[in-house]
Structure 1
């Protein structure tokens, strides 16, 4: 399984991706802007790959690694996971600070939303970001996720909470967005 956009390739992670995942995910900026564990070790990448594989097998969607189409440079990770409510998924992502501001996260999230609604058949997709990372919220907005509400999120150590924002988009809203000339997936 592989998803492609104009500039990116998104595919389920494999063992050969571990070194690239660890090298990027261990960046202190990613830790500061997300709930990704820090330091991010090889065992964290192995656990994420195992969860991604299990999710793909059980629900038909899961974690994806993101590479540039030109040069196949690893730039980040994105994925969908099932929530307790049937037909509802949660999107999450992180990207290398080297590519921040280039639109890769928005491009990847739009493709993930398309896949979630059109292929996986979800009727609502949520995404969360820590309040200190408004840029992630802007990525979600540009991808069409306009609904926003405050929500406390578990911190990366699992022993406390941090202020965050939850956003969502429904399948019918996604279909409506596709009809707008100014919205290009």
Structure 2
């Protein structure tokens, strides 16, 4: 894995930058919307300001170790956070898992697919990862569509692989190898 400090990424329509305290006003209502929060296995619901500040504190610690590269997603034409995408490095440091969420007003516009494609590029080209995986609750098929559009490959379904509020949900796994990425980035 390459040693690289990359805090900002850009795509045609999006700017990806580190989330900060100024984003709390967007994080809380977007994550507090059950259409977002309840589709995430690790996101508390209801979502409060204290949850957002705790998450930002955790990100600051992870940023120092390099374990997580989290990016606030914002549109170039209108500043303000609309979602988050994170690359969580696995202990082997040659693979990672990506996770993301997007505020409901910005669904179905291709923003998350665009952000995911850039994170995959960043992971493979800048960081030097060999594999990037992702997963979603089976009930959240829209997330699977984003992964497919970004060229990730379906791997398997783990029955009861995710737990949300004491209830098991099927987990759908996707992944992409660097060699596959390089054949058609």
Counterpart in the other structure of 1:154: 162
1:47 to 39, 45, 54: 54
Deviation at 1:58, TM superposition (A): 1.2
- How many residue pairs match? The answer is 177
**What does 1:1-185 align with in structure 2 at a 5 Å threshold?**
1-35=7-41, 36-59=43-66, 61-151=68-158, 152-157=160-165, 159-178=166-185
Q: Closer, same or farther in 2 for the Cα pair 1:51/1:106, shift >3 Å?
A: same
Once residues 55 and 183 of structure 2 are traced to their aligned partners in structure 1, the CA distance between those partners, rounded to angstroms, is: 34
Task: State the TM-score, normalizing by the size of structure 2.
Answer: 0.88
Cα 1:119–1:55, aligned 2, differ >3 Å: closer, same or farther? farther
How far apart are 1:136 and its partner, in Å? 0.5
Supply the distance in 2 between the matched residues of 1:50 and 1:124 (Cα, whole angstroms): 28
The TM-score, its normalising length taken from structure 1, stands at 0.88
Q: Say which structure is richer in strand.
A: 2
1:61 CA displacement: 4.3
CA distance in 1, matches of 2:140, 2:22: 30
Q: Could you tell me how far apart the structure 2 residues matched to 1:176 and 1:93 are? A: 25
The Cα RMSD (Å) is 1.6
Assess if the C-alpha contact under 8 Å between 1:12 and 1:53 holds in 2: no
Whole-Å separation in 2 of the counterparts to 1:87 and 1:168: 14
Structure 1 alignment gaps of length 5 or more = 179-185
